Amino acid sequence: MEKILIVEDDHNLIILLQTILQKEGYLVMTAPCGKMALDWLVNSKPDLVVLDIGLPDMSGIKICEKIKSDRTLRRIPVIILTAYEDNKTKIQANLDAQADLFLNKPIDNKDFKSAIRTLLKKASANKALRRNLFKKTAR
């Protein structure tokens, strides 16, 4: 069962996203702030992270930067949720954080589920490829 970490400070949105993902068969962990999210990341290594861009204690961008700069975490796909409509903010955030995907709030449930499936499938394929390459070079 794939694990997904949702980092969001809006309790109602956490419940909505958690319900959607659990109905799809995912194990869902939630964190209302960045510090708790970083603790979860180190201890549980989720298969995907959904991050709010604006959290009470730190920016979702900063958390994403930490994920993508950590050798043990950088392959975890990250979706950043944002209420910002302007592309300048998204482009700068993507350059800084290297998020895998940005989704605008309010979130379309169908698009959200599709994005999760696509990113997890891509991550799984990359993992299998790395495993096969390692086997070939180890011979």
- A 10 A CB-CB count for 5 gives 23
Q: How far apart are CA 9 and CA 123, in angstroms?
A: 26
Q: What is the pTM of this model?
A: 0.89
Q: How far apart are CA 38 and CA 131, in angstroms?
A: 27
Q: How far apart are CA 93 and CA 133, in angstroms?
A: 32
HSE-CB for 110 with a 13 A CA cutoff: 0
As a whole number, mean pLDDT of residues 124-130 equals 83
Q: Has residue 111 got a pLDDT over 90? A: yes
- Amino acid identity of residue 121, one-letter, is K
pLDDT for position 65: 93
Structure confidence by residue, pLDDT tens digits, 51-70: 999 899 999 999 999 999 99
pLDDT for position 83: 82
Which token pair is 46? Answer: 């989720």
Q: How far apart are CA 57 and CA 59, in angstroms?
A: 7
Which superfamily, per CATH, for 3-138? Response regulator (3.40.50.2300)
